[in-house]
Amino acid sequence: NAGVTQTPKFQVLKTGQSMTLQCAQDMNHEYMSWYRQDPGMGLRLIHYSVGAGITDQGEVPNGYNVSRSTTEDFPLRLLSAAPSQTSVYFCASSYSRRTYEQYFGPGTRLTVT
Amino acid sequence: AQTVTQSQPEMSVQEAETVTLSCTYDTSESDYYLFWYKQPPSRQMILVIRQEAYKQQNATENRFSVNFQKAAKSFSLKISDSQLGDAAMYFCAYRTAFSGNTPLVFGKGTRLSVIA
Protein backbone atom coordinates (compact mmCIF):
# COMPACT_ATOMS: atom_id res chain seq x y z
CA ASN A 1 0.00 0.00 0.00
CA ALA A 2 1.21 3.49 -0.84
CA GLY A 3 -0.99 4.94 1.92
CA VAL A 4 -1.94 8.59 1.39
CA THR A 5 -0.13 10.34 -1.43
CA GLN A 6 -0.09 14.03 -2.23
CA THR A 7 1.19 15.89 -5.25
CA PRO A 8 2.98 18.16 -5.72
CA LYS A 9 5.33 18.36 -2.73
CA PHE A 10 6.13 22.02 -3.41
CA GLN A 11 4.39 24.67 -5.46
CA VAL A 12 4.81 28.39 -6.07
CA LEU A 13 1.87 30.33 -7.47
CA LYS A 14 1.29 33.92 -8.39
CA THR A 15 -1.69 35.75 -6.91
CA GLY A 16 -4.80 34.98 -8.91
CA GLN A 17 -3.58 31.72 -10.38
CA SER A 18 -5.52 28.52 -9.87
CA MET A 19 -4.33 25.04 -9.12
CA THR A 20 -5.37 21.68 -7.75
CA LEU A 21 -3.63 19.83 -4.96
CA GLN A 22 -4.00 16.12 -5.48
CA CYS A 23 -4.66 13.57 -2.75
CA ALA A 24 -5.14 9.84 -3.18
CA GLN A 25 -5.35 6.87 -0.84
CA ASP A 26 -5.34 3.15 -1.55
CA MET A 27 -6.70 1.91 1.77
CA ASN A 28 -10.39 2.10 0.81
CA HIS A 29 -10.98 4.74 3.47
CA GLU A 30 -14.37 6.41 3.38
CA TYR A 31 -13.32 9.51 5.29
CA MET A 32 -10.88 12.04 3.81
CA SER A 33 -9.98 15.55 4.83
CA TRP A 34 -7.76 18.52 4.06
CA TYR A 35 -5.91 20.54 6.68
CA ARG A 36 -3.68 23.56 6.43
CA GLN A 37 -0.79 24.12 8.80
CA ASP A 38 0.44 27.60 9.61
CA PRO A 39 3.11 28.56 12.17
CA GLY A 40 1.64 28.81 15.65
CA MET A 41 -1.80 27.72 14.45
CA GLY A 42 -1.63 23.94 14.47
CA LEU A 43 -3.61 22.14 11.79
CA ARG A 44 -6.94 23.59 10.76
CA LEU A 45 -9.59 21.73 8.85
CA ILE A 46 -10.48 23.07 5.40
CA HIS A 47 -12.92 20.51 3.95
CA TYR A 48 -13.75 16.89 4.55
CA SER A 49 -15.65 14.05 2.91
CA VAL A 50 -17.40 11.07 4.45
CA GLY A 51 -17.70 9.21 1.16
CA ALA A 52 -17.87 9.56 -2.59
CA GLY A 53 -20.20 12.40 -3.56
CA ILE A 54 -20.35 13.85 -0.02
CA THR A 55 -18.29 16.81 1.15
CA ASP A 56 -18.59 19.37 3.92
CA GLN A 57 -16.83 22.49 5.11
CA GLY A 58 -14.40 22.66 7.96
CA GLU A 59 -13.07 25.57 9.98
CA VAL A 60 -11.38 27.52 7.15
CA PRO A 61 -13.12 26.68 3.83
CA ASN A 62 -13.06 30.07 2.10
CA GLY A 63 -11.07 30.13 -1.12
CA TYR A 64 -11.04 26.36 -1.51
CA ASN A 65 -13.23 23.88 -3.35
CA VAL A 66 -13.35 20.10 -3.13
CA SER A 67 -15.13 17.23 -4.79
CA ARG A 68 -15.14 13.50 -4.19
CA SER A 69 -16.04 11.53 -7.29
CA THR A 70 -14.24 8.36 -6.21
CA THR A 71 -13.36 6.78 -2.88
CA GLU A 72 -9.66 7.05 -3.66
CA ASP A 73 -9.28 10.71 -4.66
CA PHE A 74 -10.00 13.98 -2.88
CA PRO A 75 -8.54 16.97 -4.76
CA LEU A 76 -8.38 20.46 -3.28
CA ARG A 77 -8.83 23.35 -5.67
CA LEU A 78 -7.65 26.92 -5.23
CA LEU A 79 -9.63 28.97 -7.74
CA SER A 80 -7.78 32.28 -7.32
CA ALA A 81 -4.73 31.97 -5.10
CA ALA A 82 -4.03 34.65 -2.50
CA PRO A 83 -0.92 35.22 -0.36
CA SER A 84 -3.00 34.26 2.70
CA GLN A 85 -3.15 30.74 1.28
CA THR A 86 0.58 30.30 1.65
CA SER A 87 0.74 27.28 3.91
CA VAL A 88 1.50 23.59 4.20
CA TYR A 89 -1.44 21.43 3.19
CA PHE A 90 -2.09 17.95 4.52
CA CYS A 91 -4.53 15.37 3.30
CA ALA A 92 -5.68 12.66 5.72
CA SER A 93 -7.93 9.62 5.56
CA SER A 94 -9.48 7.03 7.84
CA TYR A 95 -12.08 4.32 7.99
CA SER A 96 -15.63 5.43 8.57
CA ARG A 97 -16.24 3.51 11.74
CA ARG A 98 -15.82 4.02 15.44
CA THR A 99 -12.13 3.88 14.93
CA TYR A 100 -9.59 6.48 15.56
CA GLU A 101 -6.43 6.80 13.51
CA GLN A 102 -6.19 9.23 10.61
CA TYR A 103 -3.42 8.58 8.13
CA PHE A 104 -1.66 11.65 6.78
CA GLY A 105 -0.03 12.35 3.46
CA PRO A 106 3.44 13.93 3.29
CA GLY A 107 2.10 17.45 2.77
CA THR A 108 2.33 20.11 0.07
CA ARG A 109 4.16 23.35 0.73
CA LEU A 110 2.41 26.11 -1.21
CA THR A 111 3.76 29.63 -1.60
CA VAL A 112 1.63 32.35 -3.18
CA THR A 113 3.52 35.48 -4.23
CA ALA B 1 -17.33 22.95 19.61
CA GLN B 2 -14.38 21.11 20.99
CA THR B 3 -11.10 22.91 21.58
CA VAL B 4 -7.62 21.64 22.35
CA THR B 5 -5.04 23.75 24.17
CA GLN B 6 -1.31 23.18 24.35
CA SER B 7 0.05 25.83 26.68
CA GLN B 8 3.76 25.19 26.04
CA PRO B 9 4.84 26.49 22.61
CA GLU B 10 8.40 25.23 23.21
CA MET B 11 10.05 22.73 25.52
CA SER B 12 13.54 21.35 25.83
CA VAL B 13 14.96 18.25 27.49
CA GLN B 14 18.39 16.76 28.01
CA GLU B 15 19.07 13.52 26.22
CA ALA B 16 18.11 10.49 28.38
CA GLU B 17 15.92 12.65 30.65
CA THR B 18 12.13 12.68 30.92
CA VAL B 19 9.84 15.43 29.66
CA THR B 20 6.09 15.97 29.91
CA LEU B 21 4.07 17.88 27.33
CA SER B 22 0.73 19.31 28.45
CA CYS B 23 -2.61 19.24 26.72
CA THR B 24 -6.06 20.23 27.89
CA TYR B 25 -9.30 20.02 25.98
CA ASP B 26 -12.83 21.21 26.26
CA THR B 27 -15.80 19.01 25.36
CA SER B 28 -19.27 18.17 26.57
CA GLU B 29 -19.05 14.64 25.18
CA SER B 30 -18.33 11.56 27.25
CA ASP B 31 -16.97 9.30 24.51
CA TYR B 32 -14.03 10.44 22.43
CA TYR B 33 -10.46 9.71 21.40
CA LEU B 34 -7.31 11.65 22.18
CA PHE B 35 -4.05 11.50 20.25
CA TRP B 36 -0.53 12.73 20.25
CA TYR B 37 1.05 13.22 16.84
CA LYS B 38 4.72 13.86 16.19
CA GLN B 39 5.90 15.99 13.28
CA PRO B 40 9.66 15.80 12.69
CA PRO B 41 11.47 18.14 10.29
CA SER B 42 10.45 15.81 7.44
CA ARG B 43 6.93 17.22 7.95
CA GLN B 44 5.31 13.78 8.09
CA MET B 45 2.59 13.45 10.74
CA ILE B 46 3.26 10.36 12.85
CA LEU B 47 0.82 8.96 15.39
CA VAL B 48 2.62 8.53 18.71
CA ILE B 49 -0.12 7.34 21.02
CA ARG B 50 -3.89 7.27 21.37
CA GLN B 51 -6.30 7.05 24.26
CA GLU B 52 -9.96 6.03 24.30
CA ALA B 53 -11.89 8.13 26.78
CA TYR B 54 -13.86 5.16 28.11
CA LYS B 55 -10.64 3.41 29.15
CA GLN B 56 -9.36 4.42 32.55
CA GLN B 57 -5.96 2.87 31.97
CA ASN B 58 -3.37 5.24 30.58
CA ALA B 59 -2.00 4.29 27.19
CA THR B 60 1.67 3.39 26.83
CA GLU B 61 3.84 2.89 23.75
CA ASN B 62 7.42 2.04 24.62
CA ARG B 63 9.01 5.27 25.95
CA PHE B 64 5.81 7.25 25.45
CA SER B 65 3.00 7.30 27.98
CA VAL B 66 0.07 9.53 28.75
CA ASN B 67 -1.54 10.82 31.90
CA PHE B 68 -5.24 10.96 31.07
CA GLN B 69 -7.36 12.81 33.61
CA LYS B 70 -10.88 12.74 32.23
CA ALA B 71 -12.51 14.84 34.92
CA ALA B 72 -9.85 17.52 34.56
CA LYS B 73 -9.91 17.18 30.75
CA SER B 74 -6.17 16.82 30.70
CA PHE B 75 -4.05 14.60 28.46
CA SER B 76 -0.30 14.98 28.95
CA LEU B 77 2.43 13.09 27.12
CA LYS B 78 5.47 11.79 28.95
CA ILE B 79 8.58 10.91 27.00
CA SER B 80 11.08 8.86 28.97
CA ASP B 81 14.77 8.39 28.13
CA SER B 82 14.57 11.18 25.54
CA GLN B 83 16.50 10.65 22.35
CA LEU B 84 17.76 13.08 19.72
CA GLY B 85 15.21 11.64 17.32
CA ASP B 86 12.39 12.79 19.59
CA ALA B 87 13.05 16.40 18.61
CA ALA B 88 9.93 17.48 16.73
CA MET B 89 6.64 19.34 16.90
CA TYR B 90 4.09 17.47 18.98
CA PHE B 91 0.38 17.97 18.45
CA CYS B 92 -2.40 16.93 20.75
CA ALA B 93 -5.66 16.10 18.97
CA TYR B 94 -9.26 15.22 19.79
CA ARG B 95 -11.81 13.23 17.87
CA THR B 96 -15.38 12.53 18.86
CA ALA B 97 -16.37 8.87 19.06
CA PHE B 98 -19.99 9.59 18.20
CA SER B 99 -19.23 8.77 14.59
CA GLY B 100 -16.21 7.67 12.61
CA ASN B 101 -16.89 10.46 10.15
CA THR B 102 -15.43 13.26 12.15
CA PRO B 103 -12.30 15.34 11.80
CA LEU B 104 -9.49 15.76 14.27
CA VAL B 105 -9.31 18.95 16.31
CA PHE B 106 -5.69 19.91 16.90
CA GLY B 107 -3.88 22.00 19.45
CA LYS B 108 -1.33 24.53 18.23
CA GLY B 109 1.60 22.28 19.00
CA THR B 110 4.67 22.14 21.23
CA ARG B 111 8.14 22.24 19.72
CA LEU B 112 10.43 19.86 21.60
CA SER B 113 14.18 20.26 21.46
CA VAL B 114 16.48 17.52 22.71
CA ILE B 115 19.88 18.64 23.99
CA ALA B 116 22.79 16.26 23.63
A38-44 mean pLDDT = 90
Contact list in A for residue B33 (CB cut-off 8 A) is 100
Count Cβ atoms within 10 A of the Cβ of residue B22 and give its class: 0-12 exposed, 13-18 middle, 19 or more buried.
Answer: middle
Is residue A87 within 8 Å of A36, Cβ to Cβ?
Answer: yes
**pLDDT tens, position by position, B72-95:** 999 999 999 999 999 999 999 999
Distance between CA atoms of residues B85 and A89, nearest Å:
24
> What is the DSSP code string of B14-54?
ETTS-EEE--EEE-S-SSEEEEEEEE-TT---EEEEEEETT
Partner-chain contact B108 A41, CB within 8 Å: yes
pLDDT of residue B100: 58
**pLDDT tens, position by position, B19-69:** 999 999 999 988 899 999 999 999 999 999 999 998 889 999 999 999 999
Count Cβ atoms within 10 A of the Cβ of residue A74 and give its class: 0-12 exposed, 13-18 middle, 19 or more buried.
Answer: buried
**pLDDT tens, position by position, A61-97:** 999 999 999 999 999 999 999 999 999 999 999 886 6
Tell me, yes or no, if B44 comes closer than 8 A to chain A by beta carbon: yes
- Residue A63: DSSP 8-state: T
Contact list in B for residue A33 (CB cut-off 8 A) is 103
